[in-house]
Amino acid sequence: MMLQQIPIQEISTLAILLPLGWALVKFKTGGLKLRLFFVFLLLGAMIDGLGWFLYLNGFGFYFHSILQYFYLWFEALFFIWLAFEFLEFDKRAVLKKGFLVLISLLFAVEGFTRFVLGFGTGKFTGFVYAVFLVVSAFLMAFALLRIAETREDLLTYSWFWILSGIFFYSFGTFFIDLLSYTDFGTHIWGLRNVVNIIQYGFFVVGLVRVR
């Protein structure tokens, strides 16, 4: 089968159901981190599902773009919060608050220019998402190093796999988001779906290992 014939985007949309199902199974036995992770997956599935419903029924995407914007904001804050749950150092709380405020300010400005001033998506949107992904990759890398230093059961530890999936996604897509409003970016946008599918694979491995 030719690569172009493989419905990568559809697979990427449906693949989230696998980690979502496992997160639901582990929901009652998991702690706050796992429950928020389930909410993150559930919202992602709902936003993607709504997008497909609107597309198949010929509706506009303005309302969906607003929901997607707030979901990405939540995703950014959740990734930062999650990474700091595994970090221990002086000024940890201050640095955590600083990252949360920085990302929130960037998203607030992007949302104001996009939805209030009506500029729509543009280079600044790509810049904001790229910054969020770079910050996420940076923090997840340090969190993974901390886990590697403190745990001997690394490959059987669920959060090692989940954080690895987030790191892979963040590191693998920030260049794509940064270039998304260029001609080159439009040609490589499909790679985002591939990265997304691999990320869900990491999530499934991690969720299966939740005790």
- Write out the H or E segment, with its range, that includes residue 94: helix 92-111
Sorting pLDDT into bands at 50, 70 and 90, what band is 47? very high
- Nearby residues of 53 by Cβ (< 8 Å), 6 or more positions away: 59
Phi-psi region of 122 (alpha: psi -120 to 50; beta: other; left: phi over 0): beta
> What does the pLDDT look like over 69-110, one tens digit per residue?
999 999 999 999 999 999 988 889 999 999 999 999 999 999
**Which of 169, 2, 153 lies closest to 79 in space, CA to CA?**
169
pLDDT value of residue 199: 96
∠ CA 73-90-94, nearest 5°, is 35
> What does the pLDDT look like over 133-150, one tens digit per residue?
999 999 999 999 999 999
Contact by Cβ (8 Å): 181, 189: no
> What does the pLDDT look like over 112-127, one tens digit per residue?
999 988 887 777 888 8
10 Å Cβ neighbour count for 146? 16
- How many angstroms separate the CA atoms of 25 and 42, rounded? 13
Q: How is residue 4 annotated by DSSP?
A: G
Q: Is the pTM of this model over 0.75?
A: yes
- Reduce the DSSP state of residue 29 to 3 states and report it: coil
- How many angstroms separate the CA atoms of 196 and 74, rounded? 18
